[in-house]
C-alpha cells in the first residue's frame, strides 16, 4: 500500500490493517478483477424527461437555476429557507447525487455541507477528485421538514430538474450516495447493500451509476467505510476507463 493511499484512507477514517504475511500478487489481482466483473452488471433505467427543453450552455443553466429558485411545484416550497440547486463544475466527469437538503444545506443553500459534507469531500479527494472538480446535487432541491424522507410525489416533481442538470453536465459517471437516492434513481426497493459495489446505468444516455453509502450513515457506522472505499475505487476505475 502506498503512503499516498494510506493518507487517503486515514482521511476517510478507515483504519489501515496490515497483513502479517505479505499477500501474494494474485490477491491484489483478484480484488481488481472483482470490481471489474461488477462494472459490467448494467441495468437499464428509464430517464425521467426534463420538464421542458431548456437548451444548452450558460443560458440553459441560468434558466434552470431561475426555475428552481422560484419553484412551487410541491409543498416543500412552503417550508424551505431557500432552494439548494447544486454546486460544482458544469463539465464535471463525476456527478454526485444525494437525497435532499438537510438543515445546514437549507441554511447555506449548498448541498453536502456540515460533517457529512466534510466526509464526502474526503471521500472524493481519496480518488483524486476535489469537491470543486465534481458536480453535486440532490434529488430534492428543498428541505423536507424535520429531515423526513422525500415523498414519491415530491421526488417526481423535482427529478426533472436533476435530469436536466445531468443532461447539461454530461458526466462520465454518476455516484448515488445513500439508500433514498439510489432506490429512487433505480426505481427499486432493493436494499442499498445489494445496490452498491457494482455499476448500473441511468437514463437514456446509459450513464454509468455507482451506489455507495451516505456519508451521514458512514459517520454513524464507520465499519462500512471500507465498503464505501471500494465503491469509490470502482468510480475511479470507471472514469479512467472512459478517458
Ligand atoms: S422540492 Fe423541487 S419540486 Fe418541490 S418546490 Fe422544491 S424545487 Fe420545486
Indicate whether residue 116 lines ligand 1 (CB < 6 A): no
Residue ID of nearest Cα to ligand 1 atom 2: 158
> What pLDDT, on a 0 to 100 scale, did the predictor assign at position 71?
98
Indicate whether residue 74 lines ligand 1 (CB < 6 A): yes
> What pLDDT, on a 0 to 100 scale, did the predictor assign at position 206?
92
User: pTM of the predicted model, to two decimals?
Assistant: 0.82
Please tell me what DSSP assigns to residue 77: G
> What pLDDT, on a 0 to 100 scale, did the predictor assign at position 224?
96
DSSP codes of every residue in 119-166: HHHHHHHHTT--GGGSEEEES-SSPPGGGPPPPHHHHHHHHHHHHHHH
Indicate whether residue 92 lines ligand 1 (CB < 6 A): no
Q: Which residue of 66, 75, 77 sits with most ligand 1 atoms within 8 Å of its CB, as the best mutation to test the pocket?
A: 77
Indicate whether residue 162 lines ligand 1 (CB < 6 A): no
- Burial class of residue 137 (count of CB atoms within 10 Å of its CB; 0-12, 13-18, 19+): buried
| Tens of pLDDT, residues 64-93 | 999 999 999 999 999 999 999 999 999 999
> Of 226, 231, 230, whose CA–CA distance to 16 is shortest?
226
Ranges in the chain, pLDDT < 70: 1-56, 242-243
DSSP codes of every residue in 13-47: TPPPP--SSPPPHHHHHHHHHHHHHHTT-----PP
Residue 100 alpha carbon, nearest atom of ligand 1: 1
> What pLDDT, on a 0 to 100 scale, did the predictor assign at position 118?
96
Mean pLDDT estimate for the chain = 84
Amino acid at each position: 500500500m502506498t503512503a499516498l493511499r494510506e493518507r487517503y484512507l486515514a482521511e476517510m477514517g478507515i483504519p489501515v490493517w496490515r497483513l502479517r504475511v505479505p499477500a501474494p500478487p494474485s490477491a491484489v489481482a483478484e480484488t481488481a478483477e472483482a470490481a471489474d466483473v461488477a462494472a459490467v452488471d448494467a441495468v437499464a433505467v428509464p430517464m425521467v424527461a426534463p420538464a421542458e427543453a431548456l437548451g444548452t450552455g450558460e443560458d440553459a443553466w441560468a434558466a434552470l437555476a431561475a426555475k428552481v429558485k422560484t419553484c412551487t411545484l410541491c409543498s416543500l416550497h412552503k417550508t424551505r429557507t431557500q432552494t439548494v440547486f447544486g454546486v460544482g463544475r458544469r463539465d464535471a466527469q463525476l456527478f454526485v447525487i444525494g437525497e435532499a437538503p438537510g438543515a445546514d444545506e437549507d441554511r447555506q443553500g449548498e448541498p453536502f455541507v456540515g460533517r457529512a459534507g466534510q466526509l464526502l469531500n474526503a471521500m472524493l479527494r481519496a480518488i483524486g477528485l476535489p469537491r470543486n472538480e465534481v458536480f453535486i446535487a440532490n434529488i430534492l432541491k428543498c428541505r423536507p421538514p424535520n429531515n423526513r424522507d422525500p415523498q414519491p410525489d415530491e421526488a417526481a416533481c423535482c427529478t426533472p430538474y436533476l435530469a436536466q442538470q445531468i443532461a447539461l453536465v454530461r458526466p462520465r459517471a454518476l455516484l448515488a450516495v445513500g439508500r433514498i437516492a439510489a432506490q429512487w434513481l433505480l426505481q427499486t426497493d432493493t436494499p442499498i447493500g445489494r445496490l452498491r459495489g457494482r455499476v448500473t446505468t441511468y437514463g437514456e444516455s446509459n450513464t454509468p451509476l455507482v451506489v455507495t453509502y451516505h456519508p451521514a450513515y458512514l459517520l454513524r457506522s464507520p465499519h462500512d467505510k471500507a465498503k464505501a472505499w471500494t465503491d469509490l475505487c470502482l468510480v475511479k476505475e470507471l472514469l479512467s476507463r472512459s478517458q
